[in-house]
Structure 1
Amino acid sequence: MTAPAQPATPDLLYSQDEEDLRAAVRALLADRADAPTVIAAAESGTPYDRRLWDELASGIGAAGLLVPERLGGQGASHREAAVVLEELGRAVVPAPYLTSSVMATETLLALAGADRGAAALLGELASGSRTAVLAVPFATPPSGAGSATAGPGGTVRGVADAAAADVLLVPTAEGLYAVEATAPGVRVEPLVPLDLTRPLAALTVPGTTGTRLAAPEASTAAVRRGLLAGAGLLASEQLGIAEWCLTETVRYTRERHQFNRPVGSFQALKHRMAQLWLEVVSARAAARNAADALATGSPDAPLAVAVAQAYCSGVAVHAAEACVQLHGGIGMTWEHPAHLYLKRAKADSIACGPAGAHRDAVARLADLPAP
């Protein structure tokens, strides 16, 4: 009698290639997206830097990490994409990487074998010459893929990075359509977001405009795949946010003195930062587990993603709140970037589904009684 196969042990460590990729992305962001630059861009109302995106997407090749080489991509995996998102989170960079290079790309990958249009569009996204967004509310969890269709009049609200997109992937009752953002009748109306570095918009797409890529059943499966990858790798962005907030807070409390002592030497603050460090370490394990499960096609990937989102979103918010508080007065100013991290963390906490929805998913997938 053959023993049942044992599940593969997840690899939570970073490979040398991943560390090299991290170094390249970090160097680019340090040069082109430092804190004053990001703050100024966020306040301008047009936060996207096209030159930065070109260098990230095509110069480094980050846009095509998830796309196979035969379709014009890098043939890497979700692990490498997760490293890029960690660095983008550390710098709260306004770039459509999560929405285009992960969510839209994964949606198209589900269809590339059966639709030449999807395969051709993947090549364009991988090169960085074009970007796409999945036209669903940014708060849609993977379990909501079946109901993620346009409302009355073909309107979808709360679509992230729609203003920067060249192509809209629109799920409808008739299937999934690829619609040019400049097509007649298409309207992109900016909304007022909490996070100024990731603008939201309301999309109006009339009728069945565009090219149909998939029938309804295949459309739902493709959208679910895109949302699952988005939720799983969003945890890595949240990890990057939390790591920056902890690192910056430790640095500041070492330099800031009161009563001739660094404020970081006060026991109450040391305890808070030590607890936060433990949370960040745990968040790293959860985020890496989700990225590895997606990369290996593990059957437990939905559970790993749900666990990562249920935990990492709260850690990012906690770290950002502590960063603002422990910086004292300077942390409350617009000149300091702490407010950008707090807003991104709060916005991310409901992106791809709030933590409560993912806890419900954990209960369902692990067959545990939900609260």
Structure 2
Amino acid sequence: MNTEPDLLHSPEEEALRAAVRDLLTDHCDVAGVIARSESDTPHDVRLWKSLAGGMGIAGLLVPGELDGQGATHREAAVVLEELGRAVAPVPFLTSAVVATEALLACGADDLLAACAAATTTGALAVALHTAPGAPVRRVRLEGGALHGELTGIADAAVADLLLVPADDGGLYAVDAASVTVVPQVSLDLTRPVARIVLDGVRGARRLGEAEPAVRRALRTGAGLLASEQLGLAEWSLTETVRHLKERKQFNRPVGGFQAVKHRLAQLWLQVVSLRAAARAAADALATGTDVDVAVAVAQAYAAPVAVRAAEEALQLHGGIGMTWEHPVHLYLKRAKADSLAFGTAGAHRAALAELVDLRAP
């Protein structure tokens, strides 16, 4: 029996990539993303409806019997690559991946069906920086009501359903309309975070045990985040190469200078390695084989490469890269924010050392 991971894309995955890329090309232009990042409504709700409802990607990981697509994490990874490449301000990662995985762990079929139908957008009320297996902040359950504050919740402003861990060990489904959502300052303006305040919220539904559900959700989020980081890195490299072929100094393309070529070649090698790590994590999540190791490897490697690719893009674009009108700043901010999401690279390296029994002396 062949247990080697399959890192190649299937024809179906390539068709999904083409469809998502075409839609983003038509409906997610750079000028629009920059304009939204300056407004009070950074999420592109219309784009999300087209992706979630029109294409059905909101239910990508939801089983077919619940009106979902019944796809695997490999297909979700393809979607995240394209969303990363476009820095699309939509809650796919937080709702269709992280919240959906928590609901799957709890067996909340009705809520999964609502998410798949794109009538409900969910968010796990755990700080975005939380690594899989790390302690999470919980709200108090007193007299049947939930009390407390949770900070750093990604895409809370656009969520209809919040999945809230409580101090009784349960994970509760809370109507977002019953809580107060306070925007927080976020480096990545395309994925805003917020503080949510629960002041005696009643009627919350206990879905199941919080610990296994949250761990599963965060592990999947970390593993598939590497695919978004791959999309960021690939865009940064591709656009930088294109710019350096066109930009001239001393009547020569800037990309022809040896020092620049060496920088780009080194970055290309790192991006290729990132592609392999991201694909391995997606395949491991899909097959259930060595998941913890594959996710830790992907996140230990992905964040530094994505950040470096965006930094190189900014520098090698010269003066234009420093302007607000050029989109490279969006990619750098998303890469920096992603480097903290679901645990830092250092946290994942430490987790990997434990998993393979190579702890530091």
Identity across aligned pairs (percent)?
64
TM-score normalised per structure 1: 0.93
Match of 2:53 among 58, 61, 66: 58
Q: Superposed, which structure 2 residues align to 1:282-297 within 5 Å?
A: 282-297=273-288
Match of 1:232 among 223, 234, 243: 223
Q: Which residue of 2 aligns with 1:47?
A: 42
Q: Which residue of 2 aligns with 1:91?
A: 86
Over the residues paired in the alignment, what is the CA RMSD in angstroms?
1.4
Write the letter of the residue equivalent to 2:159: A
1:266 is displaced (CA, Å) by 0.2
Relative to structure 1, the CA distance from residue 11 to residue 210 in structure 2 (aligned partners, 3 Å threshold; closer, same or farther) is farther
- Correspondence 1:10 to 2:5: yes
1:214 is displaced (CA, Å) by 3.6
- CA distance, structure 2, for counterparts of residue 213 and residue 60 of structure 1: 31
- CA distance, structure 2, for counterparts of residue 206 and residue 138 of structure 1: 22
- Correspondence 1:147 to 2:136: yes
- Correspondence 1:270 to 2:270: no
Match of 1:194 among 181, 184, 187: 187
Match of 1:160 among 138, 146, 154: 154
CA contact (8 A) 2:78 2:227 kept: yes
Relative to structure 1, the CA distance from residue 291 to residue 263 in structure 2 (aligned partners, 3 Å threshold; closer, same or farther) is same
Q: Secondary structure at 1:241's aligned position in 2?
A: helix
Q: Secondary structure at 1:188's aligned position in 2?
A: strand
- CA distance, structure 2, for counterparts of residue 330 and residue 158 of structure 1: 32
List per-residue Cα deviations over 1:36-60 (Å, max 9, x = no partner).
Answer: 1111111113111222111101111
- CA distance, structure 1, for counterparts of residue 129 and residue 360 of structure 2: 21
Relative to structure 1, the CA distance from residue 210 to residue 78 in structure 2 (aligned partners, 3 Å threshold; closer, same or farther) is farther
CA contact (8 A) 2:188 2:334 kept: yes
1:128 is displaced (CA, Å) by 1.2
- CA distance, structure 2, for counterparts of residue 52 and residue 147 of structure 1: 32
1:75 is displaced (CA, Å) by 0.4
Q: Secondary structure at 2:15's aligned position in 1?
A: helix
Bigger shift: 70-79 or 36-45? Answer: 36-45
CA contact (8 A) 2:58 2:116 kept: yes
Q: What number of residue pairs does the alignment pair up?
A: 355
Q: Which residue of 1 aligns with 2:202?
A: 209
1:162 is displaced (CA, Å) by 0.2
Q: Which residue of 2 aligns with 1:80?
A: 75
- CA distance, structure 2, for counterparts of residue 352 and residue 12 of structure 1: 23
Match of 2:212 among 203, 218, 221: 221
1:154 is displaced (CA, Å) by 1.1
* Unaligned ranges ≥5, structure 2: 141-145
1:219 is displaced (CA, Å) by 1.6
1:213 is displaced (CA, Å) by 3.0
- CA distance, structure 1, for counterparts of residue 70 and residue 261 of structure 2: 44
List per-residue Cα deviations over 1:120-164 (Å, max 9, x = no partner).
Answer: 0101111111101000100000021x4342389511110000000
Write the letter of the residue equivalent to 2:298: A
Write the letter of the residue equivalent to 2:262: H
Q: Secondary structure at 1:47's aligned position in 2?
A: coil
Match of 1:170 among 158, 164, 169: 164
Q: Which residue of 1 aligns with 2:238?
A: 247
Q: Secondary structure at 1:46's aligned position in 2?
A: coil
* Unaligned ranges ≥5, structure 1: 1-5, 113-117
CA contact (8 A) 2:229 2:302 kept: yes
Relative to structure 1, the CA distance from residue 263 to residue 38 in structure 2 (aligned partners, 3 Å threshold; closer, same or farther) is same
CA contact (8 A) 1:177 1:209 kept: no
TM-score normalised per structure 2: 0.96
Relative to structure 1, the CA distance from residue 320 to residue 94 in structure 2 (aligned partners, 3 Å threshold; closer, same or farther) is same
CA contact (8 A) 1:178 1:210 kept: no
Q: Which residue of 2 aligns with 1:308?
A: 298
1:15 is displaced (CA, Å) by 0.5
Write the letter of the residue equivalent to 2:164: V
Q: Which residue of 1 aligns with 2:143?
A: none
CA contact (8 A) 2:240 2:317 kept: yes
- CA distance, structure 1, for counterparts of residue 347 and residue 149 of structure 2: 24
CA contact (8 A) 2:137 2:150 kept: no
CA contact (8 A) 1:131 1:167 kept: yes
- Correspondence 1:68 to 2:57: no
